[in-house]
Amino acid sequence: MARAIVYTDFDGVLNAFPEAEPTPSDLYSYSPERAFRLDGDATVHVGNGAAYRIRWSSELTDALHELACTGAIELQWLSTWQPYTALLNERLGWNAQIIGTVQWYDPITYTGLRDGKYRAVARRVEVEADRDDPAPIVWIDDEECTRTRCDELRASAPVAPVLMVRPDSRIGISRRQWALICAFIANPRAFGDVTLDVEPTLREHEGHMGY
């Protein structure tokens, strides 16, 4: 089977929001056994005076980048940061020559912002269905990897396995979810047609967090 295609969001996935709704009962969610340590902290200026603080784990981002560098995966940004992923690559120390960015919405008119991510993944599923050696797909998003989207993708009858991962935005991809992603990349045939993994501590929130 062809190498896996990994579509990753940024906010709530690699860029975590530990200050979002913290309560004493939630502290276990941030334990080293569950969460990667957020040792990256920077401010990204996107023009027009707008700037956003980002926090990430270099252990996690380095590991994901290494998979792309070795050719184990095809890595694609699928994020509202679409116009500014070059800035993210620079901050994370990622090689922009091997990291793609899906153009899924119009950054001027915002056309496609509502369902463009899903349509991009669904289109790739259709493309892979026509290939002799279809590629498995990993889609990581803290908001859009839902049961509804999972059912819709399953109804399209993908010919290669799809893994959907929904992190808790307060910690981003957990250690458990990272292990699952690595297991899928190594042996996608061990998974079903479409698998949805939701971090148990995830909390629904109003609106989009981050950029």
Share of the chain above pLDDT 70, in %: 95
| Spatial contact of 101 and 8, defined as CB atoms under 8 Å apart | no
Instruction: Express each pLDDT in 6-18 by its tens digit.
Output: 999 999 999 999 8
Number of other residues whose CB lies within 10 A of the CB of residue 127? 12
| Spatial contact of 111 and 82, defined as CB atoms under 8 Å apart | no
pLDDT at 208: 78
pLDDT at 91: 97
Share of the chain above pLDDT 90, in %: 83
- H-run or E-run covering 177: helix 175-186
* More confident of the two residues 133 and 18: 133
Q: Given the structure tokens 């148990």, which residue do they identify?
A: 200
Task: Spell out the alpha helix ranges (H) of 16-173.
Answer: 58-69, 85-92, 116-129, 147-155
Helices (H) and strands (E) in the chain, counts: 5, 8
- For residues 88-113, one letter each, b for 16 or more C-beta atoms within 10 angstroms of the residue's C-beta and e for the rest, the string is bbebbebeeeebebbebbeeeeeeee
Q: Minimal CA–CA distance to 210: which of 60, 77, 20, 38?
A: 20
pLDDT at 201: 87
Measured distance CA(126)–CA(157) in Å, rounded: 9
Query: Is a pLDDT exceeding 90 seen at residue 20?
Result: no
Q: Minimal CA–CA distance to 156: which of 127, 198, 184?
A: 127
Q: How confident is the model at residue 27 (pLDDT cuts 50, 70, 90)?
A: low
Q: How confident is the model at residue 211 (pLDDT cuts 50, 70, 90)?
A: confident
Average pLDDT, the chain: 93
